[in-house]
Amino acid sequence: MISKKVSFITINYNSSTYTIKLLESIYKNTIDIVYEIVVVDNNSEKKDLEKLENYIFNKKNIKLIKNSINSGFASGNMLGVNYAEGEYYFFINNDCVLLNNSAKILKDFLEKNEEVSLVTGKVLDANGKYSSSYKQFPHILKQIFGNSVERFFSKNKYPSNKINLENNSQVEVVSGSCMFFDAKTFCEIGGFDTIFFLYCEEEDISKRVWDFGKKVYFIPKAEIFHKAGGSSIQSFEMEQEFYISYYHLLDKHYNLIGKFILKATLFFKLFFRIFKKKNGLKILFSFFKGFSKKDSIRYIQKIKV
């Protein structure tokens, strides 16, 4: 029996080599379900886009959406949602590769567990580790006393990402590189917050799923390889972008006291980093500026005409 449709949604930005490998793995490993692929090109250079277009030419079940500006992760994926017809959305980074029939495994789990609306699989790195598959939301306890204390007090509710789970388990936050949603819940909570440009989207939307009364799960049977950082270049601007997103996350989900404590602990962390990190002093200066959204790389993007 043919299953319900799944919409794969991924973003390409000057990284068509990775995107093509992802698409090849989808075609190879996705069986016994009806699916479509939505690729959003976030204003890549002409040569990169042409390479992707040549690969996609005459391929089935695929839509290439050409964005005229690099609108980032959240907005790029929301653009893809506009063209998606599935009952399930599989948001997956283009530097990932499916290692098995992940989409069907995740879809089958959601169909059998209506209280769950967001799942991820075992996201493996080059060393075979999968600690990035799930993590915890930024908590005051963690920021003050460290990861070990936070894990001790929350272990009965959410497992530590230091544990290699082998069973289906509820987790607090899933990997942003691999997010499989029940489309109905995703749409009802408003999808991704497009104020986030590149980072912290997974923390935000995972928490909003929990707040909506649904659960978030890790499903280790579904296996995905992720070449972390393969689709982006690290720099001062990218590091600053993370903290801009982090500030938005805190402002959105914490009261005044909570925000003050978390931002104060961040100050001490960044202060001691100035002696160790190349961009430490510049990042500290950005902290004193409040990691203003006006400094986001969102505002240096140009529209293709």
Together in a domain, 287 and 199: no
Q: Are strands 134-135 and 173-174 parallel, antiparallel or unpaired?
A: antiparallel
| Predicted pLDDT at 136 | 85
Residue 218 is predicted with a pLDDT of 96
- Asked if residue 231 is part of any domain, the answer here is no
If asked whether residues 115 and 243 sit together in one domain, one would say: no
CATH number of the domain within which 85 lies: 3.90.550.10
- The β-bridge partners of 226 are 96
Which tokens is 23 given? 């698409």
* Domain co-membership, 196 together with 296: no
Q: Name which of 224, 161, 226, 174 is nearest 202 in CA terms.
A: 174
Q: Structure pTM?
A: 0.91
For the chain, give the percent of residues with pLDDT over 70. 89
- Does residue 183 belong to any structural domain of this protein? yes
Domain containing 50: what range?
A: 3-226
Indicate whether 293 belongs to any domain. yes
Strands (E), the chain: 3-12, 33-42, 62-67, 88-92, 96-98, 116-124, 134-135, 169-170, 173-174, 178-182, 215-226
On whether residue 305 sits in a domain, the answer given is: no
Do residues 240 and 201 both lie within one domain? no
The verdict on 133 and 252 lying in the same domain is no
Residue type, 165: L
Q: Please give the Cα distance from 124 to 5 (Å, whole number).
A: 26
Q: Please report whether residue 276 resides in a domain.
A: yes
Nearest to 138 by CA among 51, 206, 61: 206
Specify the pLDDT at position 160. Answer: 67
- Same domain? For 185 and 260 the reply is no
148 lies in the same domain as 261:
no
278 and 199 in a common domain: no
Q: What is the mean pLDDT of residues 56-62?
A: 91
User: Which of 201, 226, 251 is where one domain is finished?
Assistant: 226
Q: Binning pLDDT at 50, 70 and 90, where does residue 1 land?
A: very low
Task: Domain count for the chain, please give it.
Answer: 2
**124 and 263 fall within a common domain:** no
Of 173, 193, 226, which residue sits at a domain end?
Answer: 226
In tens, the pLDDT along 227-262 reads 875 445 568 999 999 999 999 999 999 999 999 999
Question: Which residues neighbour 259 within 8 Å (Cβ) at sequence distance 6 or greater?
Answer: 250, 251
Q: Are residue 39 and residue 188 in the same domain, yes or no?
A: yes
List pLDDT tens digits, range 151-186: 555 555 666 666 778 899 999 999 999 999 999 999
Residue that finishes a domain, picked among 199, 226, 253: 226
With cut-offs at 50, 70 and 90, classify the pLDDT of residue 277. confident
